Amino acid sequence: MKIYFASGNKAKQEQLKYVADYFGYPVEVINAKEMFKVDYEENGRTCMDIAVKGAKHVFSKIKKPVVVEDSIIYISALKGPGLKSNKFLKEKKVEGALNLMKHESDRSCYIESCVVYYDGKILKKFRNKVAGRITYRKSYRQGEPIWVGPSFHEFGGGYNSIYEPWFIEDLGKTLADATKEEGLVYGYRERNFKTLLDFLFEKV
């Protein structure tokens, strides 16, 4: 099965392929943005709104079933960055978030992943929200794939190296300290991708 993934984010593409391979789903993940030279504006009122609009726009251009994923982090003490998560990461990096949080006692946050499939008729939405906290320092495992944590790509893993899901906090791990296999359980995007794949292969 070919999945036309409307994302220029190499980490997301590799992550989706890893999840598919791990669970035995034979798929080819195609970078729709690159192949068809099409993009979409990331604007909307919510994470899901952005993903839905993006999927519909890309489908209108390529006329093939398309998948879009958008994710955000919301840090309670900062009241954001929310929909500006990607812009914040590029401009301030995770060190910027740590600096803004250095005097904050409320470290609670959540990461939300929104995945949308659209084929011109069927619009399917998948949402996974994982609560956690912001750590006091950056921490990550060496040698893991780009989507797990910092690597040759400076934004590899996004906020994972300063984000600790509540249910692994007793282990003292950030999400970037986890292995790629542990990410299948603890991650916010992996479980969304698995649900998407389950849906796609039930259709055929």
Domain span including residue 8: 2-203
Nearest to 37 by CA among 55, 17, 20, 61: 61
Could you give the angle at which helices 10-22 and 189-203 cross, rounded to 10 degrees?
60
What does the angle CA 187 – CA 127 – CA 6 come to, to the nearest 5 degrees? Answer: 85
**CATH number of the CATH domain containing 83:** 3.90.950.10
Q: Convert the pLDDT of each residue in 32-54 to its tens digit.
A: 999 999 999 888 999 999 999 99
Out of 105-109, 148-152, 193-197, least confident range:
148-152
pTM of the model: 0.93
Supply 197's token pair. 């794949």
Place of tokens 């995770």: 94
pLDDT for 170: 60
Q: Given this model, what pLDDT does residue 16 score?
A: 97
Alpha-carbon gap, residue 159 to 174, rounded angstroms: 10
List, for residues 50-90, the tens digit of each pLDDT value. Answer: 999 999 999 999 999 999 999 999 999 999 999 999 999 99
Q: pLDDT band at 169, cuts 50/70/90?
A: low
Looking at residue 157, its pLDDT comes to 85
Phi then psi for 31, rounded to 5 degrees?
-75, 95
Number of domains in the chain: 1
The dihedral over CA atoms of 189, 194, 200, 203, expressed in degrees to the nearest 10, equals -140
